[in-house]
């Protein structure tokens, strides 16, 4: 038996062993939680669902608003009150000059 075949066989065995360990001990049984319904918490779950739906609606509304802007008609964006109300908060960087011509040359 060649060493390449032996190494492939060992790697395959380790992979199968790790897969068995993962599915048996780490992953657990997720199907039990899928059908387990606690009727006392149904109201709280529906509130959470409503909150999630409201958030999704906000995101979709904002996305539609963004999609309504046309880049080829730049006047629309530049005259928007939200754009004109922006404040320039840029910071000027001082001119420190350039360094050595070759930074890797030895220092004399």
Percent of the chain past pLDDT 70, that is, above it, reads: 72
pLDDT digits (tens, 9 = 90+) for 1-32: 688 999 999 999 999 999 888 888 877 655 55
**pTM for this entry:** 0.28
Does the pLDDT value for residue 70 go beyond 70?
A: no
Q: How far apart are CA 83 and CA 66, in angstroms?
A: 13
Higher per-residue pLDDT: 50 or 104: 104
Beta strands in the chain (DSSP E): none
Residue 42 exposed, middle or buried by CB count within 10 Å (0-12, 13-18, 19+): exposed
Q: Where are the domains of the chain?
A: 39-84
């Amino acid at each position: 038996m060649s060493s390449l075949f032996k190494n492939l066989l060992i790697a395959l065995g380790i992979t199968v062993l790790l897969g068995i360990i993962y599915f048996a001990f780490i992953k657990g049984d997720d199907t039990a939680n899928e059908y387990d319904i606690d009727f006392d918490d149904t109201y709280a779950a529906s509130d959470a669902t409503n909150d999630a739906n409201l958030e999704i609606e906000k995101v979709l509304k904002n996305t539609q608003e963004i999609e309504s802007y046309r880049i080829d008609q730049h006047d629309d964006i530049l005259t928007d009150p939200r754009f004109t109300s922006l404040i320039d908060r840029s910071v000027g960087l001082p001119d420190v000059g350039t360094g050595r011509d070759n930074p890797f040359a030895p220092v004399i």
